[in-house]
């Protein structure tokens, strides 16, 4: 930062000028004696004695330290010299010391002189000709007062304006330009959604652009927040359970521990997938690979909790009960593999891709809920009394069917393309329905765990580490391997050439 010189007149008593040769240890200020007459002369108007009125002021010119006087900055009158007015009180006036000297007021104790640093007076000296940064940027640790004349007020305003410009950060650091949005015909086919006409983000967005776009209204904004905010709700419920249950030593709570971890992971992964899916065509596929993997792991968490807490009494200790978790691990492998594979068919065979992806998630759901549905049918037949847990499970099943319908039907945007680009399209409703259904499922699982604890501990199998946390670790490793296998062709052998920045990935047709 370069500080230009400028003209400014200030009032300073002659006696202050005469003693201005003594500099403090920092070399940036001049201190003077505590003579009461000088004290009164330097006090602001209203605090001085009668001798202030008898004082006579005359200008004296201050010569620059180095060479010739520099050209005044724009806005200053060149015919005026940089001058100060010295007070004549029986002694000869002397020029001000080198540099720019300003009296500094501490602000308290004006009438008694306590407010002045080091005695009663202190002057801040600012030399713009020095090259070191400390000399060019003075630190005003106290409010500065000046007695101005001959247009000094306007020049002080100029100084303030330059000061604001000197300390102002670059505009690009303080303000962010929101990413530009595009219509459906402006983006590659791999980024297009059925019935969504506008609000598309740039297909080559940076990570920062993707994050900023979550605060900008586009066709993915609601998708991001409808899963990001519920993540914090489920985390809060998890923390409450951690404070009331002993997850470390009580093995009966381990199925709930696995379930609560996965119910927090799947909406967060989905939110991240929707946020960063426009960095490139390859990143879009990989983001949704992780989204599908998180959903398949969530189905495993449902199976573990259902197998230990929700299983009908007549099915406890049967072959299905004993092999329920291993079969669920196989379902996660099937779900992740088929859903990831369906993305490679999305452009050439969109209907086939949609059907395979739907099957990939419906099969684990049906397997997990078979014990629950049988238990509900028994209660409807009068074999058991309805409970609060079963009510929550029924609500969960209702929202699960609604979620499946919204995922496959693409309503209402299919009926009115372009009318639901930002609000109300099927994927937003799909997210909301899935989260509400997960809430009722969580409440039902917690209620069953609490109400059936005594009976299950006496007649059922105790949850083991291998059957809960071990099953999660095994399934996580397998699913990460599957995601890596499907991601490898996209990362190592992309079909896009450097001269085709907007072409899609392997297996993509022309746009």
Last residue of a domain, one of 142, 172, 202: 172
Looking at the domain assignment, is residue 269 inside a domain? yes
CA distance 450 to 160: 68
Average pLDDT of span 470-495: 92
**Tally of CB atoms within 10 A around 298:** 25
What are the helix (H) ranges across 1-151?
14-18, 36-42, 51-54, 133-136
Residue with more model confidence, 8 or 126: 126
> Between β-strands 10-12 and 100-103, what pairing exists: parallel, antiparallel or unpaired?
unpaired
The Cα–Cα gap between 202 and 191 comes to 10
Residue 330 within a domain: yes
Residues 335 and 469 in one domain: yes
Q: Which domain holds residue 309?
A: 222-492
* Domain final residue pick, 172, 200, 230: 172
339 and 263 in a single domain? The answer is: yes
In the chain, the number of structural domains is: 2
**What's the pLDDT score for residue 509?**
36
Structural domain contains residue 505: no
What contacts 273, CB < 8 A, 6 or more positions away? Answer: 287, 288, 290, 291
Compute CA distances 289 → 233, 245, 364, 432, whole Å.
24, 34, 17, 21
pLDDT above 70: residue 96 = no
Report the range out of 63-67, 169-173, 211-215, 501-505 with the highest average pLDDT: 211-215
Estimate the crossing angle of helix 254-275 against helix 281-305, to 10 degrees.
Answer: 160
The interaxial angle of helices 471-492 and 324-342, nearest 10 deg, is: 10
13-41: average pLDDT: 42
Tell me if 4 is assigned to some domain.
no
Q: Over 60: is that where the pLDDT of 498 sits? A: no
Residues 160, 237, single domain; the answer is no
- pLDDT beyond 70 at 131: no
164 and 234 fall within a common domain: no
Q: What are phi and psi of 318, to 5 degrees?
A: -80, 175
Give exposure, 305-322, as e/b (b: 16+ Cβ within 10 Å): bbbbbbbbeebbeeeebe
The per-residue pLDDT for range 334-390, each reduced to its tens digit, is 999 999 999 999 999 999 999 999 999 999 999 999 999 999 999 887 777 778 899
DSSP 8-state secondary structure symbol assigned to residue 10: E
Token pair recorded at residue 176: 């962010």
Regarding whether 105 and 27 lie in a shared domain, the answer is: yes
Specify if 477 maps to a domain. Answer: yes
227 and 155 co-located in one domain: no
Contact 271, 231 (CB under 8 A): yes
CA distance linking residue 495 with residue 492, whole number of Å: 10
Same-domain pairing of 476 and 332: yes
Nearest partner of 35 among 152, 137, 116, judged by Cα:
116
* Distance set, CA 365 to CA 41, 43, 358, 412 (Å): 89, 84, 11, 25
Name beta bridge partners: 125. Answer: 101
Q: Decide if 104 contacts 117 (C-beta within 8 A).
A: yes
Q: Is residue 242 domain-shared with residue 167, that is, in the same domain?
A: no
The most confident of 41-50, 170-179, 352-361, by mean pLDDT: 352-361
pLDDT tens for each residue of 278-326: 999 999 999 999 999 999 999 999 999 999 999 999 999 999 999 999 9
- The shares of helix, strand and coil residues in the chain, as percent rounded to the nearest 5, are 55, 5, 40
Place of tokens 């209204």: 217
Give domain status of residue 511, yes or no. no
Q: What is the pLDDT of residues 223-282, one digit of tens each?
A: 999 999 999 999 999 999 999 999 999 999 999 999 999 999 999 999 999 999 999 999
pLDDT score at 332: 98
| Token pair recorded at residue 16 | 């202050």
What's the CATH code of the domain at 355? 1.20.1070
Residues 6+ positions from 322 with CB-CB distance below 8 Å: 461
For the stretch 478-489, pLDDT in tens is 999 999 999 999
| pLDDT for 283 | 96
Q: Is 39 annotated as ligand-binding?
A: no
**Residue 351 shares a structural domain with residue 257:** yes
Asked if the structure places residue 141 within a domain, the reply is yes
Which alpha helices (DSSP H) does 61-187 contain, by range?
Answer: 133-136, 152-167, 171-174
Q: Hey, CA dihedral for 343, 348, 350, 355, is it positive or negative? A: negative
Asked which of 72-76, 174-178, 429-433 is least confident by mean pLDDT, the reply is: 72-76
Residue 113 has a pLDDT of 46
Q: Are residue 156 and residue 248 in the same domain, yes or no?
A: no
Q: Where do we find the tokens 């983000």?
A: 201
Are both 254 and 156 inside the same structural domain? no
Q: Binding residue per annotation — 427?
A: yes
Q: Is the pLDDT of residue 152 over 80?
A: no
> 3-class DSSP state for residue 47?
coil
pLDDT number for residue 151: 55
Residue 285 within a domain:
yes
pLDDT value at residue 387:
81
Query: CA-CA distance, 294 to 256, in Å (whole number)?
Result: 17
Give pLDDT, residue 77: 43
> Is residue 227 a known part of a binding site?
no
> What is the pLDDT averaged over residues 10-21?
42
Check whether residue 149 and residue 264 sit in a common domain. Answer: no
Peptide bond into 412 cis (omega under 30): yes
61 DSSP β-pair partners: 83
């Amino acid at each position: 930062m370069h500080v230009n010189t400028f003209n400014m007149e200030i009032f300073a008593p002659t006696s202050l000028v005469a003693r201005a040769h003594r500099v403090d240890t920092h070399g940036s200020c001049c201190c003077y004696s505590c003579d009461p007459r000088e004290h009164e002369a330097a006090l602001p108007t209203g605090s001085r004695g009668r001798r202030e009125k008898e004082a006579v002021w005359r200008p004296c010119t201050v010569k620059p330290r180095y060479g010739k006087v520099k050209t005044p900055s724009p806005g200053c009158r060149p015919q005026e010299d940089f001058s100060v007015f010295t007070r004549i009180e029986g002694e000869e006036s002397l020029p001000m010391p080198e540099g720019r000297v300003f009296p500094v007021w501490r602000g308290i104790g004006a009438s008694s002189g306590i407010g002045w640093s080091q005695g009663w007076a202190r002057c801040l000296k600012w030399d713009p000709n020095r090259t070191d940064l400390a000399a060019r940027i003075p630190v005003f640790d106290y409010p500065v007062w000046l007695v101005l004349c001959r247009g000094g007020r306007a020049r002080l305003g100029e100084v303030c304006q330059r000061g604001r410009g000197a300390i102002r950060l670059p505009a690009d650091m303080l303000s962010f330009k929101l990413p530009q949005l595009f219509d459906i015909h402006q983006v590659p086919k791999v980024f297009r959604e059925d019935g969504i006409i506008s609000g598309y983000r740039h297909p080559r967005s940076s990570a920062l652009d993707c994050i900023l776009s979550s605060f900008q209204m586009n066709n993915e904004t609601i998708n991001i927040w409808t899963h990001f905010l519920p993540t914090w709700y489920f985390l809060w419920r998890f923390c409450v359970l951690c404070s009331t249950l002993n997850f470390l030593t009580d093995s009966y709570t381990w199925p709930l521990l696995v379930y609560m971890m996965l119910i927090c992971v799947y909406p967060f992964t989905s939110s991240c997938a929707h946020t960063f899916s426009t960095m490139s065509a390859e990143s879009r596929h990989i983001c949704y690979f992780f989204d599908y993997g998180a959903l398949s792991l969530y189905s495993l968490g449902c199976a573990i909790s259902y197998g230990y807490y929700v299983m009908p009494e007549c099915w406890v200790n049967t072959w299905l009960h004993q092999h329920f978790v291993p079969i669920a691990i196989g379902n996660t492998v099937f779900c992740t593999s088929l859903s990831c594979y369906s993305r490679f068919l999305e452009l050439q065979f969109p209907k086939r891709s949609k059907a395979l992806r739907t099957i990939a998630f419906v099969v684990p759901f049906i397997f997990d809920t078979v014990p629950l549905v049988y238990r509900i049918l028994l209660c409807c037949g009068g074999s058991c009394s309805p409970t609060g847990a079963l009510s929550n499970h029924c609500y969960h099943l209702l929202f699960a069917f609604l979620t499946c319908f919204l995922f496959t039907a693409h309503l209402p945007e299919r009926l009115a393309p372009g009318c639901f680009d930002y609000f109300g399209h099927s994927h937003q409703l799909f997210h909301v329905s899935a989260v509400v259904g997960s809430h009722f499922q969580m409440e039902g699982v917690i209620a069953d765990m609490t109400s059936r604890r005594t009976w299950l501990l006496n007649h059922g199998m105790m949850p083991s580490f291998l059957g809960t946390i071990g099953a999660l670790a095994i399934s996580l490793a397998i699913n990460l391997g599957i995601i890596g296998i499907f991601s490898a062709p996209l990362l190592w052998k992309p079909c896009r050439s450097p001269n085709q920045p907007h072409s899609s990935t392997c297996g993509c047709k022309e746009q």
